[in-house]
Amino acid sequence: MDQRKPPATEEGWYALHDCRSIDWDAWREAPQRVRDRALSEGIGFLDAYEAVEDADEGQTAVYTVMGHKADIMILHLRPTMGDLDAAERHFEQTEFAAFTEQEFSYVSVTEASGYTEKSREYFEGEVDDDSGLAQYIQARLHPDVPDEEFVCFYPMSKRRQPDQNWYDTSFEERAAHIKRHGDIGRGYGSEVSQMIAGSIGFDDWEWGITLWSDDMRHIKELLTEMRFDPSTSQFAEFGPFYVGRKFDPSELPAVLAGQRVPTDDESVPETPADVAEHEHAPADAGASHSHAEEPTASGAQTGAHAGGDTDSHGGTHPGSASEGDHPHPEESSDEDDSGSSSSSGGRPDVSADFEEIDDAAQRLGRLGLHEGDAYDAGDYALVFHSSADAEDIVDDVSDLESNFDHYDRHVQTAVRADSGQTYVVSIWTAKDAAETAAGFLKDIDGVDEQLGGSLGEGVEGSETADDSDAQAAESSQSIRETLESAGVYAGQPHGEDVYALVVYSEADAETLDEEVTDLRSAFERYDTHVQTTVYGDTDGDVAAVASLWDTEDAAQTASDYLTDLPGVVGRHGEGDGFGTMGMFYTVKPEYHEDFVEKFDTVGGLLKEMDGHRETSLLFNHDDENDMFIASQWDSQEDAMAFFRSDDFSETVDWGRDVLADRPRHVFLA
């Protein structure tokens, strides 16, 4: 058999995952003065190491660990193995360490490796050090520990069995596996951060994987989906999993007291005077950093993936030079309030310099991109000139765009030509996201002039925006006042406490319910989801799916899935007119028939009102007492005329005794 070709690799910081259990019996039996001293020394050690006082650079973080395997995990990242060695032995010198037992540890080194042609250019020295790719790989090798609440660490290896031996497969086959595996990770780039560290020759397994998220369900969903990919199902072996929550060193007393962390300062147990007098690290040492959802780079163009409000975290990027044999989702880079890359961990800034301009909208107009069609007022545009022919760079730019599209703040990226000149235009909803994207756009062939500016920020545009905002505020206030004067809850700007989507379908409610059950289970993993319900009328002629969300962005994302339901014939807001006023009521069971009769009476009055088109009463397929009234009008003012009427006020008064909870009134268009 021929010698197989390994991927080129580059190593960065060394990592130690130190998992400790606490001897709770010894802790409870220890005198208070001993426990006080242990807490003081424990806090002092963790503070100093989070402030990286033991080395020139690196990172340290501490987590609780849930389950029987350990109680706390200390994660150290340091430039040399000697630094890790000293950190581990230094901890053992503290009084606090006497109450702990090292249950598990793992030694590794952050690793960048790649299978793509672009990554080979990096490893062969053909990429400039200041390129987006080179800077990103260095950021990958010297990661910042993100601030997400939860951590999941596990070791893994590639399988070596007669018929499933990763190391007997060809370079090309491994590259194909990794690309497909990485494609899965892209879907979780804004939800899960990660760090991959190689450990061949260091520990019992071949890689150590560290994942971070603010919702552990995202990690579960990611790993579940990856289990079904052949690169995992055929070739992966896993070690033990350690799951925990991040806490600040100052909260060590709360951890030992069994309190929930993080806590408010008032709820942290009192520490002794020597703890209070202990000289802690500077306020900004080891502090949390804001995580803006930003792009990183394209796998095809730069060997990394664009990084989803998600803002977005330390991860491999499928197809990139930073990608190892176990790719996972991508990350966004961390930034401080000034927009510069955080320096606490020594990560390089992957953004690029460009000249700020105030005529970006006019420049885009000359390239055929106009407000309302290509972007919204307030977006931010990059306009980079390239000396290359447009057709020579269009594929590279397309690859970038396909990766940028995974992030909510990306609007579009494209090649445009004007008077024989080639331009690359990238539009984002926020400047900081565009700044990071610029770090990779500048690597496109022939890029020389690099410009960026806000869209719709001119004097005339600002006046128009101010007028529009004033009108919207006035309208919102009028709606709220009208509803509240009638005793109806009026929540957010147009009376909503949620954002609602409704699609209408020719399919029967039973068929819709089966489809929506699966869709609902996917929606429920998001905190912004309120409910998604199938409604139908008594005659079975009308069926609708109503989906309620806390944010407008989440609702718009969900709309793409709702319109794929069977038999969909329309959605709110389509066509002319104001659209639909959605009214959601839950009725006490004993008043069900009375409510239906009342609706018939009010429905008759609505038919006589100006601007009224149609109003339907629909029932929850699973609960007939949960009702949805879809009322369509020519204009918002026509709809509000009904809410201002005496008939509506009388209906509200009548409803106080028959409704089981507070109704929702939502403008769907």
CA–CA gap between residue 615 and residue 464 (Å, rounded): 35
Residues 6+ apart with CB under 8 A from 281: 47, 48, 50, 51, 53
What residue has token string 């070791």? 155
Q: Exposed/middle/buried for 210, CB within 10 Å: 0-12, 13-18, 19+?
A: buried
Question: What's the pLDDT at 20?
Answer: 97
CA distance 88 to 118: 38
Q: How confident is the model at residue 52 (pLDDT cuts 50, 70, 90)?
A: confident
Q: What percent of the chain has pLDDT over 70?
A: 75
Is the pTM above the cut of 0.85?
no
CB 615 within 8 A of CB 591: no
pLDDT, averaged across the chain = 76
Q: Which of 45-59, 454-468, 579-593 has the lowest mean pLDDT?
A: 454-468
Q: What average pLDDT does this structure show over 346-356? A: 60
With a cut of 60, say whether residue 496 has pLDDT above it.
no
The torsion region of residue 17 among left (phi > 0), alpha (psi -120 to 50) and beta comes to: beta
What is the band of 577 on the pLDDT scale with cuts at 50, 70, 90?
very low
Residue among 265, 199, 272 at smallest CA distance from 33: 272
pLDDT of 465 over the 50 cut: no
C-alpha Rg value of the chain to the nearest Å: 29
Checking if the pLDDT of 191 tops 60, the result is yes
C-alpha 90/C-alpha 47 separation (Å) is 13
On whether the CB atoms of residues 520 and 506 are closer than 8 A, the answer is no
Please say if the pLDDT value at position 334 is more than 60.
no
Q: Which secondary structure element, helix H or strand E, spans residue 61, and what is its range?
A: strand 59-65
CATH of domain 355-455: 3.30.70.1150
More confident residue, 489 or 32: 32
Q: Convert the pLDDT of each residue in 203-262 to its tens digit.
A: 999 999 999 999 999 999 999 998 998 888 888 999 999 999 999 999 999 999 988 887
Q: Which residues, including other chains, have CB under 8 Å from residue 256's CB and lie 6 or more apart? A: 22, 27, 35, 39, 269
225-242 tens-digit pLDDT: 989 988 888 889 999 999
| 3-state SS, residue 126 | coil
| Average pLDDT score over residue span 273-301 | 35
Residue with the larger pLDDT of the pair 431 and 663: 431
Q: What is the mean pLDDT of residues 337-354?
A: 45
Among 456, 470, 431, which Cα is nearest to 377's?
456
Q: Can you spell out the DSSP letters for 507-520?
A: S-HHHHHHHHHHHH
Give the integer Cα–Cα distance in Å for 108 and 447: 39
Q: How confident is the model at residue 17 (pLDDT cuts 50, 70, 90)?
A: very high
CATH class of 10-250: alpha beta
Q: What integer pLDDT is reported at residue 600 of this predicted model?
A: 86
pLDDT digits (tens, 9 = 90+) for 371-427: 888 888 889 999 999 998 888 898 888 888 877 776 668 899 999 887 778 999 999
Residue 315 pLDDT: 39
CB atoms within 10 A of CB 31: 8
* Neighbouring-strand partners of residue 21: 101
**Of the segments 424-438, 451-465, 536-550, 575-589, which one has the largest average pLDDT value?**
424-438
Residue matched to tokens 């709770």: 24
Q: Which residues contact 39 (CB under 8 A, 6 or more apart)?
A: 96, 252, 253, 256, 271, 272, 275
Residue 576: per-residue pLDDT: 41
Question: Taking the domains of the chain in order of start, what are their residue ranges?
Answer: 10-250, 355-455, 475-667
Phi/psi region, residue 218 (left: phi>0; alpha: psi -120 to 50; beta: rest), is alpha
CA distance 545 to 534: 5
Weakest-pLDDT range from 22-26, 475-479, 652-656: 475-479
Q: In the structure, what pLDDT confidence band is assigned to residue 568 with cuts at 50, 70 and 90?
A: confident
- Averaged pLDDT, 519-548: 80
* pLDDT classification of 490: cutoffs 50, 70, 90: very low
Question: Which fold is adopted by the domain 475-667?
Answer: Alpha-Beta Plaits (3.30.70)
Whether 526 shows a pLDDT value over 90: the answer reads: no
Task: Answer yes or no: are the C-beta atoms of 474 and 457 closer than 8 Å.
Answer: no
Of the candidates 321, 288, 335, the one whose C-alpha atom is nearest the C-alpha of residue 145 is 288
| Band of residue 548 on the pLDDT scale cut at 50, 70, 90 | confident
Q: How far apart are CA 385 and CA 401, in angstroms?
A: 17
CA distance 434 to 410: 8
Q: Which residues are catalytic?
A: 154
Average pLDDT over residues 623-642: 79
What is the token pair recorded at 398?
């397309």
DSSP label of 475: H
Q: Which of 64-73, 177-186, 471-480, 598-607 has the lowest mean pLDDT?
A: 471-480
pLDDT for the residue numbered 62: 97
pLDDT score recorded for residue 579 = 54
Pairing of strands 355-356, 447-454: parallel
